[in-house]
Structure 1
Amino acid sequence: MKRGKLVTYAGMLFMLVFLLAACSNDDNGSSDKGKGGSGGDITLDFWQFGATNYEDLAKKYEEENPGIKIKVRTAETAEHHNGLFTALSAGSGAPDIAMLEVDQLDRFKEAQDRFNNLYDLGAKDIQDQYLDWKWEIGENSESDFLFGLPTDIGPKAMFYRVDVFEEAGLPTEPEEVEALIQSKDDFIKVGEQVKEKTDKPMVDSMEMAYRGIIDGAEESFFNEAGDLLIEETGNAVREAYDFAIEMDALGLVGEYTLWTPEWGNAVNNGDFAVEMGAAWLKGWMLGNAPEAEGKFRVATLPAEFAGNWGGSYISIPKETDHSEEAYAFVEWLLSPERQLESYQSEAGLFPSSPVVYEMEDFKNTTDEFFGGQSTAQYFAKATDDITYVYKGPDYMSAHNEVLNAMQNVQQGADADKEWEAAVERIKGLIGR
């Protein structure tokens, strides 16, 4: 509202003050999180990270639900989670709706009082639409509090280069590759043939070899009591570490670091044979490895390597003034129908709802990037071998210490000494 000159007449002064106050209230309403905006609209702040199609779906929801506005903010993964944690800790500045990545989820569970329990908002009514293990991860330890509804998941499969397999004298049809590689030992044997015939590594990095085992482990660094498990006999972290060390000693892993330009070029050029990747890697390839189109296929991984890598939840912080409206949007956004749209979008988010796996549009999807192969069935099949995994609030910090140890070994350090040093660093982290 444009301010007029002050006048001395009492009536006009009263009207001016009244109008100014009304204008001020409208401004506050439109800028404050979760408050009514102009025309009585409700604006919901939605914080997300990574590549999704949620902004497009939010616009669609606005069209179908007049009076609801969804303000989407996208940030890098670390920036997003750190900013959200800071806002929740401060008790102000949190959004109405927030994504939580699965590896970060347990540290947010320690702030349960800062979130709405989605069971109180009706989530029980839709629980049967989602994979049991995915849903369970989103609960507290007593299973009576739900932090978020499931978004995508990251079931893993074997992305292999047809041209590299051909050069190595190996079969190239997905069913043949699956029959050829049934175990960890088979994987090493094939890797040795690839190395001998092509002088290329089987996988891109020690991290990928390590993830071959750790992503499917029911327990890794910690149990739910908070105990550190990595020094126990048979621990999955040590098993995964040793496998990566063995692969490196045999010359079967490259020295690429994920997400770097060098790694992207290696994917593009076929500088290694296999990526033990999650379903979402397909979306990355479409946008970042154009020269590899038609040269990759997908096959099922051995059961020893089955696991989930990635995926998220969408939560509703307690701070919102519009929890019911926020929940209505989240339930719609993550419904089977919308999950199919998210999978078919460029983001390629793999559904956490098995309802989608039975939809004809899902089953009949073909991927030109993978030579016209229908890859959806391989990732859907992989979900059968995934179970509930507990990670703990310090998971990412501990995980990074092991990655640092493996990197040092690849540069010539002693594997046992690096493992012992990593264990001590992890103990120091959790002892703070």
Structure 2
Amino acid sequence: MRQRLLATAIATAVVAGLVTGCGAGDAADSKIHLTIATFGEFGYEDLLKQYQTEHPNIVVTQHKVGQAAPHHKELFTKLAAGSGLDDIEAIEEGYRAQVMAKSDKFNDLSKIGPADAGPDRWLPWKYDAGKSKDGKLVGYGTDIGPLAMCYRTDMLKAAGLPSDPDGVKALFASWQSYFDAGKTYVQKTGKPWFDTSTQIFNAMHNQHDVGYYDQSDTLVVASNPDIKKDWDAVTQAIADKESAKLVSFGNEWQAGFKTSAFATTVCPAWMLGSIEQNSGPDNKGKWAVSSAFPDGGGNWGGSYLTVPLQSKHPKEAAELAAWLTAPQQQIKAFVAKGPFPSQVQALQSPELQNTTNAYFADPKTGALYAELAKKLTKAQYKGPADGQIQDDVFAPALQAVEQGKSAADGWQQAVAGAQKAAK
């Protein structure tokens, strides 16, 4: 599951219009007030201003928090209470199954949304993942997370490792070659190779056809050999001192980019904004993105926009959600913050193909991720407690190993925690 986060984990309310403090249904004027709840960086700030300019009868307030986990915790609490939800609620793929299990609490966008937001807009697997098991379209797809690898060219070069695009392909050809390169890097520099074990583990995990659950929603953490294999590989890398032992998206992790605390990090498209923001202007041109990814890449991340039944303006909310997930808007969101479009026309667009990011050593990020996205034909199935297992079970278990717990004890902690979460 993707954990798209802000530079800080402090909850904020961002008003995209010219007014502040206005809630939905404000009776002070005749305008329609809509609210949208997101997490991390969707790249919607300027888009929401544009929408209000083009729709002067609409005022939009964006509620944005840093992390996916607290956003969804609050969402489920408000669903249970029957009140308090925003007109549009963003859903991250790791929590999709939990939302689909409550699909009766959401509008069917195929019935209330505009006609041009049909299935041909999205990659087929992305559109299908927005539907509940009974065929109800609960969410419009926003982005996807094709996997690349980001690395510091200057730090690899200083360690005597290849740093050019062709040279790093051998380093990132497989997880074995990646960890072997990391051992060499640590031996030559005495510094960590990657930022955090949780990021590495999550990327590895998302490459498998079967993850924490099988298609029948049966928990398979203890019986899936791929999960244990990934665990063993990552915890061995921890033992080899390849991890900087940072908590993903925490304050020290954010500072680690600026202080050159690690040389590589897994880099789904939505990570680009975080790298630039956290690394700062002094490191411009030092980070590079490689399309080579261990064992062939995959998808990590992606979200959806939903309209809960609680919305007082469902039709207008659906129209805004459809507009935000149209190809032209998703391209602008990618340029602004990095979430990569899931729309067919966007992927084929010369505008996207020619999009560059001057912060990176090889700025042709649009074409690079578009090529990776075209290779994706499906995403890993996410079961009922998938997001909770990733964020609240495996992440702390890996962090415990980084702090000295044995890999065997950490594994038992993870298995037990997953079983508890799945009840």
TM-score when normalising by structure 1: 0.85
C-alpha change, 1:401 and 1:36, in structure 2 (3 Å) is: closer
Q: Name the residue aligned to 1:430.
A: 422
For residue 237 of structure 1, give the secondary structure of its aligned residue in structure 2: helix
Higher relative contact order (CA 8 A, sep 6+): 2
- Shift of residue 101, structure 1, vs aligned partner: 1.7
- Tell me the amino acid that sits aligned with residue 371 of structure 2: K
Q: Name the residue aligned to 1:51.
A: 41
C-alpha change, 1:83 and 1:263, in structure 2 (3 Å) is: closer
C-alpha change, 1:425 and 1:360, in structure 2 (3 Å) is: closer
- Tell me the amino acid that sits aligned with residue 404 of structure 2: G
Aligned counterpart for 1:205 among listed residues 196, 208, 212: 196
Q: Does 1:416 align with 2:415?
A: no
Aligned counterpart for 1:247 among listed residues 237, 248, 251: 237
Larger mean Cα displacement after TM superposition, 147-156 or 355-364:
355-364
- Shift of residue 118, structure 1, vs aligned partner: 1.3
Q: Name the residue aligned to 1:193.
A: 184
Q: Name the residue aligned to 1:406.
A: 398
For residue 141 of structure 1, give the secondary structure of its aligned residue in structure 2: coil
Q: Name the residue aligned to 1:106.
A: 97
Larger mean Cα displacement after TM superposition, 310-319 or 201-210:
201-210
**Counterpart contact for 2:149–2:293, Cα < 8 Å:** no
- Shift of residue 31, structure 1, vs aligned partner: 7.5
**What per-residue deviation string (whole Å, max 9, x for no partner) do you get for residues 128-183 of structure 1?**
221222222222134x1111101122222110111121122222221331244322
Pairing of 1:268-279 with structure 2 (within 5 A): 268-279=258-269
- Shift of residue 113, structure 1, vs aligned partner: 0.8
**What per-residue deviation string (whole Å, max 9, x for no partner) do you get for residues 190-227 of structure 1?**
22221222222221222122123112223211124231
- Tell me the amino acid that sits aligned with residue 180 of structure 2: K
- Tell me the amino acid that sits aligned with residue 298 of structure 1: V
Q: Does 1:62 align with 2:52?
A: yes
Q: Report the number of matched residues.
A: 398
- Tell me the amino acid that sits aligned with residue 396 of structure 1: G
Give unmatched runs, 5+ long, in structure 2.
1-20
Task: Tell me the distance in 1 between the aligned counterparts of 2:212 and 2:124.
Answer: 23
Q: Does 1:184 align with 2:184?
A: no
Q: Does 1:129 align with 2:158?
A: no
Task: Tell me the distance in 2 between the aligned counterparts of 1:208 and 1:305.
Answer: 17
- Tell me the amino acid that sits aligned with residue 341 of structure 1: K
Task: Tell me the distance in 1 between the aligned counterparts of 2:223 and 2:382.
Answer: 16
RMSD between superposed Cα atoms in Å: 2.4
C-alpha change, 1:229 and 1:244, in structure 2 (3 Å) is: same
**Counterpart contact for 2:141–2:305, Cα < 8 Å:** yes
**Counterpart contact for 1:307–1:385, Cα < 8 Å:** yes
C-alpha change, 1:297 and 1:322, in structure 2 (3 Å) is: same
**Counterpart contact for 2:146–2:269, Cα < 8 Å:** yes
Pairing of 1:384-395 with structure 2 (within 5 A): 384-385=375-376, 387-395=378-386
Pairing of 1:9-408 with structure 2 (within 5 A): 33=24, 35=25, 37=27, 40-77=30-67, 78-122=69-113, 125=116, 126-142=118-134, 144-234=135-225, 236-290=226-280, 291-302=282-293, 304=295, 306-345=297-336, 347-383=337-373, 384-385=375-376, 387-399=378-390, 400-408=392-400
Task: Tell me the distance in 1 between the aligned counterparts of 2:417 and 2:175.
Answer: 29
TM-score when normalising by structure 2: 0.86
For residue 145 of structure 2, give the secondary structure of its aligned residue in structure 1: strand
Structure with higher helix content: 1
Give unmatched runs, 5+ long, in structure 1.
1-29
**Counterpart contact for 1:191–1:202, Cα < 8 Å:** yes
**Counterpart contact for 1:44–1:68, Cα < 8 Å:** yes
**Counterpart contact for 1:230–1:423, Cα < 8 Å:** yes
**Counterpart contact for 1:209–1:240, Cα < 8 Å:** no
C-alpha change, 1:174 and 1:96, in structure 2 (3 Å) is: same
